[in-house]
Structure 1
Amino acid sequence: MGSKISGKDLIKLGFPQNNTINIGLNQIQRYRKREKKEAGLQELSAVLSNPSIFQHHGIWGKLAEGLIKPVEVKMQELLKQRAPFSIFGEDVIDEKAKFQLYDALKLPVAVAGALMPDAHSGYGLPIGGVLATHQAVIPYGVGVDIGCRMSMSIFNLPASFIRGKDAMLLNILLEHTKFGMYETHKNKSDHELFYRSEFQDIPLLKSLKDKAYKQLGTSGGGNHFVEFGIIELTHPKPEWKLVAGEYLAVLSHSGSRGLGANIAKHYTYLAKKQCPLPRQVQHLAWLDLNTHDGQEYWLAMNLAGDYAKACHENIHQRIAKALGKRIVVTIENHHNFAWKEMVDGQECIVHRKGATPAGKGILGIIPGSMTAPGYLVEGLGHVGSLNSASHGAGRLYSRADAKSLFTKTAMSKKLADAGVQVIGGSMDESPMAYKDIEKVMSYQKELVTVLGIFKPKFVRMES
């Protein structure tokens, strides 16, 4: 069995007595455990003989890298000086979130940063934090729910369409949306994404493919939702072929499900091993994009983002089919992602942990809470915000505080006053737990312009 291969066996093959032996044994244990010892040794010998041809191999690429140009592992110290940054809505952001950004700005790879008005503390980067780095990607700067996104589909149906249809619309949400760890659709859908080479070439992704297939078209727990509402378009784009007015719309918020969570966990572990940091910032460990693991994470992250998009497409298609109506236009955007963008004349990796891309002309959606309005926006390309805006209203109270501070009676009254009906939705997602979205929007007038306002009417969340 491959598991019986020892370090002495690798030394006999001619491997240098350094970390490549540990890498080789780890890869054997992880991916070749069931192979006969002789077959495992033959593969290891082939990598040793010609490592360059294995550089991008899913299993042996990391070992080949160790033989050609080993990744330097050394304790990283924070710099004394912060990289340049901007804060929008400083008055409504808690101090802990600010200090999390300040620490991130002292990373040796940091180039610039920004904090959005919905910001609150998180792991690694604060939620609402934006960080540009040089040739480095921080898995926890992206977040656990990779490619979490907003998606809004507008129907050419007037606001009056929903009158008297409460039961029908609530039933569509109940029957055609799935939430949490265990709910999946009875009738599964295929997607071209599952035939991508990443699912075949990267062992971690290969092991997650079946789970991703089962969870396609489903939403996570927490603050994820699917809702019917009314969008008041004040400045519709000509290509939408819609005049200003009020229309029925579906708005969804969710991410890459178990696929993204497992990618985040795996590559955060690798980043922490390769990039030791002081304890208070260990979640900010990064992967060099010029390394095997850095390149692999980048591919996996982008696949997870595309998977999140496919999930939303599936949700909206199911709802449109149940309605028997055609979607006129869909507007969508990622958050919890990293992009290659130009910052101060150099290509950087821009992490948006709970922040909306808001480059000039880029469309996005900034939701409120289950009772507060959401905003359809167009980015103004503000350099100081690193072309970003908030991804929502942001939490005013933590989940634990919300559960202890608010009652079901108070939440029910808030929903009734707003004319909103909810399936599911726990106390930690109470509308009172969130900042005032209108105040948050007032702090980012220089970041985005509003094209429309969405008012939720029928909401589905995890029960």
Structure 2
Amino acid sequence: MSDHHFSRLKRALSRAGIAVDYRDGIYRLHNEAAQATVLLPPSLPLEDKAVTQLLGFASVRSPDGEKGVCKACATPDFHPGSVAPVGSVVATDADFVIPAAVGTDINCGMRLLTTGLTLDQVAPHKTRLIERLTRSLLGSSRDVPVHTKAFRALFDVGPEAFLDAVEDDGLWASCDRDRMHSEIEACVGLSSFGGRARHAPEAYTGVRHEVFRDPCLGTPGGGNHFIELQVVDSVMDRHAAYRAGLRAGEVVVMIHSGSRDIGFHVGARWMDRARAEWPQGLRHPKSGLHGLSGPLAQEYLEAMGVAARYAWANRVVLAELVRKDLEALLGAGASRLVVDVPHNVVLREQGLNVHRKGATPAHEGDLALIPGSMGDHSYLATGLGHADWLWSCSHGAGRRMRRQEVRAMRGTPEDGADWQCVTLREERRIEEAPQAYKPIGPVIDAQEKAGLIRCAARLRPWVTFKA
């Protein structure tokens, strides 16, 4: 970043009452109400709107001012969101939460599977594989019946009870239950989510029908969600890659999805509840972020856990749909889960409630997934547990162009590329074009240099499925 650009940025933020300092790739920001830090290399822009949102996030307090945010920071995929900025992490007191910080896509996250197959083995079957996966992942041919008793088990008890309760019908008849049970241990944060079925929509738990064929279960959702076949392009930490079961040249499957309608149901209701609980006559926060304290905070975490558990189940179904097609076409039965990790959720850590809005847990030794765009590399990394950054890393590269800006571009994103996007909606291909995102290289480099992560393997895109 040039001195001229920084001076102009400093003047612009100063007019908004925000002081800024930039040293060693870190912005230090503060106004009269809050302070925050942003890890951002000089080649990537700092957006005024994102700064204002982050400081608004950092300033959230209870109406009496006794509880609130203890620390706020942001990772290099930092950019404006609808209310809270994407790529932000805040820690609050243990009995205080901010529902709007997570929003409606609760436990949006990533899942990475090995296939046991190399690209040389898969490539000759590419056309037929794409046909099968398009029907399974983007079409309406899914057969995933779930008894309402299984959903009640998921929400009231947990993932293990859900797997025990689903019956051998449809997709479930072809699943390896032992493998699915063993993979729960590789799901970061999953064991910490509570839940009660009373927070879920009645259709999932009611008794008026025995089986609910949920139209959302096993779907990626819109926006930047995807299922992507990738190739292990480079092993950067051979010990970590070996432990993860990755080898150069292997095809892997990366899944990015969230809690779909249940997340919207829970998130919207609790954002409304937090606003309604604000005392009459007291000015509402300018940021639009309202916190909840005490018993209401705990009840929100319970409701959030319902949506978080559902998001896990959604990614499980997507993984099993891919596994079923790979096995039917290629006899690939050696698939295993590398990691499943959330990046839009509240987790209790170090006696605090850590809110991650588009940021990934990166505790020491834990695996993290950091995808690029559908035309750029993704990374498997090992967290280093950096407390200054609230034990977190980025959840991707981060957008640099609004969707309406991308729609104005001409040409097909795949022109001359060695990757392919499969979608039933042409606008999705344009809106999610690689040009809409920051380059992943500087985002990764900044985090390695700052000691947030150590990269284990680099993955290049081959075929991306978008709803």
**When the two structures are superposed, what TM-score results if normalisation uses the length of structure 1?**
0.74
Distance 1:354 1:124 in 2: 13
2:373 equivalent in structure 1: 369
1:125 CA displacement: 1.9
Does residue 428 (structure 1) correspond to residue 431 (structure 2)? The answer is yes
Does residue 87 (structure 1) correspond to residue 63 (structure 2)? The answer is no
2:107 equivalent in structure 1: 147
1:460 equivalent in structure 2: 465
Cα shift readout 1:143-192 (whole Å, capped 9, x = no counterpart)? 2100000111012212212222221221132121137xxx5724435594
Residue identity matched to 1:301: M
Matched residue of 2:447: which SS?
A: coil
Residue identity matched to 2:137: T
Distance 1:124 1:133, change over 3 A: farther
Distance 1:269 1:184, change over 3 A: farther
1:193 CA displacement: 4.6
Distance 1:96 1:121 in 2: 6
Distance 2:76 2:31 in 1: 26
Q: Output aligned runs, 1:329-340, within 5 Å.
A: 329-340=337-348
Distance 1:247 1:238 in 2: 12
Confirm or deny: 8 A CA contact 1:368 1:393 kept in the other structure: yes
Distance 1:89 1:178 in 2: 36
Does residue 222 (structure 1) correspond to residue 181 (structure 2)? The answer is no
Matched residue of 2:385: which SS?
A: coil
Distance 1:212 1:116 in 2: 39
Distance 1:90 1:103, change over 3 A: farther
Distance 2:338 2:303 in 1: 25
Distance 1:453 1:88 in 2: 22
1:188 equivalent in structure 2: 145
2:248 equivalent in structure 1: 245
Distance 1:422 1:208 in 2: 32
Matched residue of 1:165: which SS?
A: helix
1:100 CA displacement: 1.0
Total equivalences in the alignment: 371
Distance 1:241 1:284, change over 3 A: closer
Cα shift readout 1:178-220 (whole Å, capped 9, x = no counterpart)? 37xxx57244355945424549955441425267844221111
Cα shift readout 1:122-146 (whole Å, capped 9, x = no counterpart)? 1332000101111211111112100
Matched residue of 1:315: which SS?
A: helix
Distance 1:383 1:208, change over 3 A: farther
Distance 1:208 1:133, change over 3 A: farther
1:281 aligned residue (280, 283, 286): 286
Residue identity matched to 2:78: A
Q: Name the larger-Rg structure.
A: 1
Confirm or deny: 8 A CA contact 2:113 2:254 kept in the other structure: yes
1:121 CA displacement: 0.7
Distance 1:238 1:376 in 2: 8
Matched residue of 2:306: which SS?
A: helix
Identity across the alignment (%): 28
2:360 equivalent in structure 1: 356
Distance 1:321 1:186, change over 3 A: closer
Confirm or deny: 8 A CA contact 2:107 2:259 kept in the other structure: yes
Distance 1:156 1:423, change over 3 A: same
1:315 CA displacement: 1.1
Residue identity matched to 1:195: A
Q: Output aligned runs, 1:249-398, within 5 Å.
A: 249-275=252-278, 281-288=286-293, 290-291=294-295, 293-324=296-327, 325-326=332-333, 327-342=335-350, 347-398=351-402
Distance 1:398 1:421, change over 3 A: closer
1:60 equivalent in structure 2: none
Confirm or deny: 8 A CA contact 2:47 2:79 kept in the other structure: yes
1:283 CA displacement: 2.8
1:243 CA displacement: 6.5
Distance 1:193 1:107 in 2: 35
Matched residue of 1:154: which SS?
A: strand
Distance 1:371 1:202, change over 3 A: same
Residue identity matched to 1:333: V
Structure 1: tracts of 5 or more residues without a match:
1-77
Distance 1:456 1:274 in 2: 46
Confirm or deny: 8 A CA contact 2:241 2:457 kept in the other structure: no
1:7 equivalent in structure 2: none
Structure 2: tracts of 5 or more residues without a match:
1-29, 62-67, 158-194, 206-211
Distance 2:373 2:222 in 1: 15
Matched residue of 2:200: which SS?
A: helix
Q: Output aligned runs, 1:389-428, within 5 Å.
A: 389-404=393-408, 406-407=409-410, 409-413=411-415, 416-424=416-424, 425-428=428-431
1:176 equivalent in structure 2: 136
2:70 equivalent in structure 1: 111
1:240 CA displacement: 4.2
Residue identity matched to 1:308: A
2:86 equivalent in structure 1: 127
Moved over 6 A (4+): none
Distance 1:79 1:219, change over 3 A: same
Cα shift readout 1:371-420 (whole Å, capped 9, x = no counterpart)? 1010001101111110111101100001121112x12x24231xx32333
Distance 2:246 2:314 in 1: 29
1:442 CA displacement: 1.5
Matched residue of 1:459: which SS?
A: strand
1:238 CA displacement: 7.8
1:454 CA displacement: 1.2
Matched residue of 1:166: which SS?
A: helix
**When the two structures are superposed, what TM-score results if normalisation uses the length of structure 2?**
0.74
Matched residue of 2:396: which SS?
A: coil
Q: CA RMSD in A?
A: 2.6
Confirm or deny: 8 A CA contact 1:359 1:379 kept in the other structure: yes
Does residue 231 (structure 1) correspond to residue 232 (structure 2)? The answer is yes
Distance 1:153 1:104, change over 3 A: same
Does residue 447 (structure 1) correspond to residue 452 (structure 2)? The answer is yes
Distance 1:186 1:243 in 2: 31
1:209 equivalent in structure 2: 204
